[in-house]
Structure 1
Amino acid sequence: MRLKDWAISQGIHQQSAYKWFKDGTLPAPAQRVGPKIVIVNPEDSVSNRRPWPVRTGVLP
């Protein structure tokens, strides 16, 4: 799975995921394959859900 696709599935902006990859803090095993970054096994990621709740409705 490409880093971009993984980021979208997690509700994370792809630039944030790339920064995490560069910093070594991406919560999933990944490696660079040529010009692309590939998530080795998406099921091994720390969380298979969004890392923060999505706001819905009107704020008070």
Structure 2
Amino acid sequence: MIKFNLRLPEDLYDSAKDAAATDDRSLNSWLVSLVRHAVEPRDTPNRPDGDSAVPAPLGGSGHSPRP
């Protein structure tokens, strides 16, 4: 396990702490789950076997239309 310091603005820290408590988790556990969710690929309806953070390919010629 890697330990590191994370600096948050006080208002964000308070909001994250409240969200973790609402989810019945420690702040650390809650943050780990958010980071894990953000970096793990997942299936999406518009991109089977893909990650929603990866842009979908453009249709047609592959180039966006120019005005």
Give the TM-score band, short-chain normalised.
0.3 to 0.5
Q: TM-score, normalised by structure 1?
A: 0.34
Higher strand share: 1
Give the TM-score taking structure 2 as reference length: 0.31
